[in-house]
């Protein structure tokens, strides 16, 4: 009985070795495929934040630095950009609102480059990687917030949720 069990194990292992040796691999040993998308955010999350389908451009180095740019499609100029670098990046001004739970030294700031365009940015750092998440919206989404209004609930703020995801993926 013991000999037949050993023989079966030997036969099974030699069959697996033969498959690997001749270029066929068992289905259980198939290598996982690395995605060619953004390593810090999915297209689905970007689409949800921008309110429609997106196209993505990714430029990431082997050192883990790079850029992911999401553009809302079709016919919209709204965009989302994630920039990650070991060097310090342009950050929000010192008087900007500080954020908790999004890496280290996180801050948020907003500017209006034109009447129809608003740019909101979160800058932060995780370990030795600095990152910015910038969302640019146009016309219909840029209603001015009253100066005395309270900040939006972080759970409902799309940019903060994205920055949390980026920070989490950088850990």
Report domain extents, the chain.
1-31, 43-143+153-170
Q: How many CA atoms lie within 13 A of 140 on its CB side?
A: 5
Question: Which of 15, 8, 9, 60 minimizes the C-alpha distance to 38?
Answer: 60
Report the pLDDT value the prediction gives residue 75, as an integer from 0 to 100. 75
b/e map of 120-154 (b: 16 or more CB within 10 Å)?
Answer: bbbbbbbeebbbbbbbbbeeeebeeeeeeeeeeee
CATH number of 43-143+153-170: 3.40.1000
- Render pLDDT for 33-82 as a digit per residue (tens, 0 to 9): 344 689 999 999 999 999 889 999 999 999 889 999 999 987 788 999 99
Q: How far is residue 141's CA from residue 135's CA, in Å, rounded to a whole number?
A: 11
Q: How far is residue 60's CA from residue 79's CA, in Å, rounded to a whole number?
A: 18
């Amino acid at each position: 009985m013991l000999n037949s069990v050993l023989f079966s194990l030997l036969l099974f292992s030699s069959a697996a070795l033969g498959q690997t040796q001749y270029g066929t691999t068992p289905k259980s040993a198939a290598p996982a495929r690395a995605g060619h998308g953004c390593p810090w955010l999915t297209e689905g999350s970007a689409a949800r934040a921008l309110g429609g389908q997106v196209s993505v451009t990714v430029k990431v180095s082997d050192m883990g630095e790079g850029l992911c740019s999401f553009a809302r499609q079709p016919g919209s100029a709204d965009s989302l950009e994630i920039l990650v670098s070991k060097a310090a990046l342009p950050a929000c001004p010192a008087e900007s609102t500080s954020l908790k739970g999004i890496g280290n030294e996180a801050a948020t700031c907003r500017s209006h480059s034109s009447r129809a365009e608003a740019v909101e940015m979160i800058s932060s750092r995780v370990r030795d990687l600095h990152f910015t998440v910038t969302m640019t919206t146009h016309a219909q989404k840029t209603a001015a917030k009253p100066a005395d209004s309270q900040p939006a609930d972080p759970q409902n703020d799309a940019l903060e949720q994205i920055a949390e995801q980026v920070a989490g993926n950088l850990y």
